[in-house]
Amino acid sequence: MDASTPTQSTRKPVAWSEEDLIRHGTPAFKRTNLALFAAGLATFGLLYCVQPLMPLFSQHYGISAAASALSLSVTTGVLAFAMLFAGGVSDALGRKSVMVASLLSSAVLVLLSALMPNWYALLAIRTLLGLTLSGLPAVAMTYLTEEMHVESIGLGMGLYISGSAVGGMSGRLISGVVADYFGWRIGIGVVGVVGLISGLVFWQALPPSRHFYPKPLQWRALYARFAGMFRDPGLPWLFVEGFLLLGAFVTVYNYLGYRLLAPPYNLSQTVVGLIFGIYLIGTFSSAWMGHLAGKLGRRKVLWTAFALMLMGTVCTMLASLWLIILGITTITFGFFGGHSIVSSWVGRRGGVAKAQASSMYLFSYYMGSSVAGASGGLFYAADGWLGVALFVGAMVLAGLLIALRLYRLQPLPQLVTPPTPMSKGAMP
């Protein structure tokens, strides 16, 4: 539990004013943003560092592309389930303590994974990693809503997302480039060290929770909220959109290396790793398309994200390396924009079950990575990149059709009574 957090037997919910919240321009705000940037950097670097190494796993262990993809799929699969419960654990143990334990233990597991003697031991470590990683993304938003002023929370979350994008890119880039010169074990080890340092920065920089108090989990109320979500005409479709978005995106990046390392391209591991730098475009597209959706309406913008991904998928089917890179860039731009729109839409429609709606969205989102990311290997084995592109294209086309269906979804009425500071602190 956070150092400043009393135990459940002594802590009582008390009223607090907005003056207690972290505001823009204060030292606490700077520390919080540094901490959350480091958290995003570590979490997604540790998660995705194996993606450019999958061809090397196939070569080293003598396994297929589909089997190699399990190094990421088992992690995201466990992560999807664990995130459904991580928020409840933080309700009892405290926000900061859960997030610190999540980051540090995950970094240690990645360091250990570089030492595993065989493929099954590596998969076992990556499975445990999904469990430990779940503590940060599931709790970070709750911490921000409890501790930050409403006028400052947008910038705080933006920096966390930026750290996530940089982490996803740097984890892929570092492991891929280092592996080309020193081997994949050193590549993973370097990412683990970066994650450990980032976790220590997070631990020292993040202010302790001031507006958290432990509370028992009410199973009946929780079940009612989860059940209520599926009676909403829009939320179940948005969960499917999350599955399709990350499923298509991860499948492309999982098998991209196999294609570019092979003839006729014969690129080096370093060059393939540098291509993963395209991931950084997400720091722009997520903010830009999110802002556009705020002005024009999510229903009117979401379909364009899937249309971009579909055009990008077609480009990757062509022979020109530059058109392939253009296709990857377009897919990445559309993915981050779509994720920004859908995740904010889920939060808007979640109402009183906002936390449960976000958890279910993240569950569907990471299950897309796990299921589709591994299944794509079967299509690669059958028809090479053409099979992967057709598989991804089918998912993106399904997402586009759902987005067009959501275009006719009636918006929710505007809230007329905003939550008070007391209720916001009591309902993380």
Q: Does the pLDDT of residue 53 top 90, yes or no?
A: yes
Q: What pLDDT shows up at residue 83?
A: 85
Mean pLDDT in residue range 348-373: 82
Q: Are 65 and 374 in contact (CB under 8 A)?
A: no
* Position 155 confidence tier, pLDDT thresholds 50, 70, 90: low
Q: What pLDDT shows up at residue 299?
A: 86
Q: Does the pLDDT of residue 191 top 90, yes or no?
A: yes
Q: Does the pLDDT of residue 427 top 50, yes or no?
A: no
Q: What pLDDT shows up at residue 413?
A: 53
User: Could you give the angle at the alpha carbon of 216 between the alpha carbons of 420 and 7, nearest 5°?
Assistant: 85
Q: What pLDDT shows up at residue 221?
A: 61
Q: What pLDDT shows up at residue 298?
A: 84
Which residues does residue 22 pair with via DSSP β-bridges, in sequence order?
148
Place of tokens 């980032």: 198
Between residues 316 and 164, the one the model is more confident about: 316
Q: What pLDDT shows up at residue 253?
A: 94
Mean pLDDT in residue range 180-205: 95
- Average pLDDT, rounded, for the chain: 83
pLDDT digits (tens, 9 = 90+) for 279-293: 788 778 877 887 788
Q: What pLDDT shows up at residue 114?
A: 95
Domains of the chain (ranges plus CATH)? 26-214 (1.20.1250.20), 224-409 (1.20.1250.20)
Q: Tokens for 312?
A: 């990008």
- HEC-encoded secondary structure of the chain: CCCCCCCCCCCCCCCCCHHHCECCCCHHHHHHHHHHHHHHHHHHHHHHCCHHHHHHHHHHHCCCHHHHCHHHHHHHHHHHHHHHHHHHHHHHHCHHHHHHHHHHHHHHHHHHHCCCCCHHHHHHHHHHHHHHHCCCHHHHHHHHHHHECCCCHHHHHHHHHHHHHHHHHHHHHHHHHHHHHHCHHHHHHHHHHHHHHHHHHHHHHCCCCCCCCCCCCCHHHHHHHHHHHCCCCCHHHHHHHHHHHHHHHHHHHHHHHHHHHCCCCCCCHHHHHHHHHHHHHHHHHHHHHHHHHHHHCHHHHHHHHHHHHHHHHHHHCCCCHHHHHHHHHHHHHHHHHHHHHHHHHHHHHHHHHHHHHHHHHHHHHHHHHHHHHHHHHHHHHHHHHHHHHHHHHHHHHHHHHHHHHHCCCCCCCCCCCCCCHHHHHHCC
Q: Are 178 and 186 in contact (CB under 8 A)?
A: yes
pTM score of the predicted model: 0.81
Q: What pLDDT shows up at residue 167?
A: 84
Residues 6 or more apart whose CB falls under 8 angstroms from that of 26 comprise: none
Between residues 166 and 123, the one the model is more confident about: 123
pLDDT digits (tens, 9 = 90+) for 379-397: 999 999 999 999 999 999 9
* Position 18 confidence tier, pLDDT thresholds 50, 70, 90: low
Mean pLDDT in residue range 151-159: 64
